[in-house]
Copies of this chain bind each other. A is one copy, B any other.
Amino acid sequence: MDFVSRWEPNARERLQQAAMELYSERGFDQTTVADIAARAGLTERTFFRYFPDKREVLFWGSGKLEELLVDGVTRAPDSTGPMDAVTAALEAVAPIFEERRDLVRQRHTLIVGHTELQERELIKLASLGSAITKALHRRGVPEPVARLTAETGVAVLRVAFEGWVQNPKPSAFVQHVREARESLRAIAAGRKPTRD
Contact = CB atoms under 8 A, between A and B. Distances in A.
Given A84-B190, A188-B184, A188-B185, A148 B159 contact: yes
A163 B147 CA distance: 11
B196 A142 contact: yes
Contacts of A193: 82, 141-142, 145
Contacts of A196: 142
A189 B83 CA distance: 8
Interface in A141-196: 141-142, 144-145, 147-149, 151-152, 154-156, 158-159, 162-163, 180, 183-185, 187-193, 195-196
Contact of A152 (B187, B191, B192): B187
A151 B145 contact: no
A103 interface: no
User: How many identical chains are in the complex?
Assistant: 2
Interface residues of A, number: 39
A28 to B, nearest CB: 18
A193 B85 CA distance: 13
A1 interface: no
B187 A83 contact: yes
A169 B89 CA distance: 38
A122 interface: yes
B148 A155 contact: yes
7 contacts: A81-B191, A83-B188, A122-B123, A142-B196, A144-B159, A152-B188, A185-B188
Interface of A: 81-84, 118-119, 122-123, 126, 140-142, 144-145, 147-149, 151-152, 154-156, 158-159, 162-163, 180, 183-185, 187-193, 195-196
Given A185-B190, A188-B188, 20 more contacts: A81-B187, A82-B187, A83-B187, A118-B126, A119-B123, A122-B123, A142-B195, A142-B196, A144-B163, A144-B183, A145-B183, A145-B187, A148-B156, A148-B180, A151-B154, A154-B155, A184-B188, A185-B189, A187-B188, A188-B189
